[in-house]
């Protein structure tokens, strides 16, 4: 199978105007990926599926990732005059990156027996109902997994044929896989807190002594 640089060039030639970049993975797996822009996402997906060399006809897995606001440190080499002599020095800069949500697709070719090729899309922010383009019309196997990301992360997939919760009940509020999600102090099946749930709940009741407020029945 071609490397990511060749696949990137192939996609850029086949989908005019696409914005695509290689995302490096520094972990042990070394599974680098291609980040594609939301506007051309479905055209890119169709190209990857139908291109005779790639034939990425199977989407095995779709996962969500929540990225909070963070500060990224970067080292750059710049030229500076030091003691009257121009030298190359290394400086560290900090860049503020605003949070966003991602959907990551693992693609294989059943025809050519190769893969994975990993593509990813990201939302503009972490706001409620942040949107991405659904790739279910291209790979039907993405249907339930995009629903799972919608349910647990709150990403809306435009063009999904049946976008609704799949794990949580319809009345459930919030999205449990978001990194700032706070689980309730107690649950429907435990109306009176006990044990570790009781200890958590004590932190939020200050009008009366916690022991009186939450005394187990």
Q: Output the pLDDT for position 189.
A: 54
Six-digit token string for 99: 């949070």
105 and 167, same domain (yes or no): yes
Q: Output the pLDDT for position 128.
A: 83
Q: Output the pLDDT for position 204.
A: 66
3-state secondary structure of 56: coil
Helix locations, 91-207, DSSP H: 143-153, 195-202
Asked if the structure places residue 86 within a domain, the reply is no
CA distance 101 to 67: 6
Entry pTM: 0.80
62 and 156, same domain (yes or no): yes
Residue 58: phi and psi, rounded to 5, are -135, 125
116 and 156, same domain (yes or no): yes
Asked if the structure places residue 72 within a domain, the reply is no
Q: In Å, how far from its chain's centre is CA 2?
A: 25
Q: What is the DSSP letter of 138?
A: T
CB 159 within 8 A of CB 137: yes
Q: Output the pLDDT for position 188.
A: 55
For 125, half-sphere exposure in the C-beta direction (CA atoms, 13 angstrom radius) is 3
Asked if the structure places residue 217 within a domain, the reply is yes
Asked if the structure places residue 16 within a domain, the reply is yes
| 3-state percent breakdown (helix, strand, coil) of the chain, nearest 5 | 20, 30, 45
CA proximity to 46, closest of 162, 135, 117: 135
Q: What is the length of the chain?
A: 217
CB 50 within 8 A of CB 33: no
Asked if the structure places residue 142 within a domain, the reply is yes
107 and 44, same domain (yes or no): yes
59 and 147, same domain (yes or no): yes
CATH number reported for the structural domain that contains residue 9 in this entry: 3.30.460.80
- Which residues, at least 6 apart from 176, have a Cβ–Cβ distance to it below 8 Å? 152, 168, 183
CA distance 53 to 49: 10
CA distance 186 to 29: 39
Asked if the structure places residue 177 within a domain, the reply is yes
148 and 123, same domain (yes or no): yes
Block means of pLDDT (10 residues each) for the chain, 217 residues, are: 94 96 87 95 98 97 95 81 78 88 98 96 92 98 98 97 94 91 67 70 61 51
Range of the domain at 190: 184-217
Helix (H) / strand (E) containing 114: strand 114-122
Asked if the structure places residue 109 within a domain, the reply is yes
Q: Output the pLDDT for position 83.
A: 75
148 and 211, same domain (yes or no): no
CA dist 136 to 23, 80, 105, 133, 165, Å? 23, 52, 11, 9, 16
33 and 125, same domain (yes or no): yes
Q: How many domains is the chain built from?
A: 2
């Amino acid at each position: 199978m071609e490397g990511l640089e060749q696949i990137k060039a192939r996609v850029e030639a086949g989908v005019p105007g696409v914005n695509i970049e290689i995302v490096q993975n520094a972990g042990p797996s070394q599974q680098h990926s291609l980040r594609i822009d939301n506007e051309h996402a479905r055209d890119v997906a169709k190209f990857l599926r139908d291109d005779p060399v790639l034939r990425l006809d199977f989407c095995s897995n779709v996962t969500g990732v929540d990225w909070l606001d963070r500060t990224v440190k970067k080292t750059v080499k710049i030229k500076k005059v030091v003691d009257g002599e121009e030298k190359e020095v290394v400086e560290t800069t900090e860049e503020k990156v605003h949070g966003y949500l991602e959907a990551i697709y693992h693609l294989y070719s059943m025809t050519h027996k190769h893969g994975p090729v990993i593509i990813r899309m990201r939302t503009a922010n972490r706001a409620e109902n942040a949107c991405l383009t659904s790739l279910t019309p291209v790979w039907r196997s993405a249907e339930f997994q995009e629903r799972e990301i919608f349910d647990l992360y709150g990403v809306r997939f435009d063009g999904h044929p049946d976008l609704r919760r799949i794990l949580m009940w319809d009345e459930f509020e919030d999205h449990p896989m978001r990194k700032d999600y706070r689980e309730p102090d107690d649950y429907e099946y435990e109306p009176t807190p006990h044990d570790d749930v009781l200890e958590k709940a004590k932190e939020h009741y200050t009008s009366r002594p916690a022991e009186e407020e939450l005394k187990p029945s």
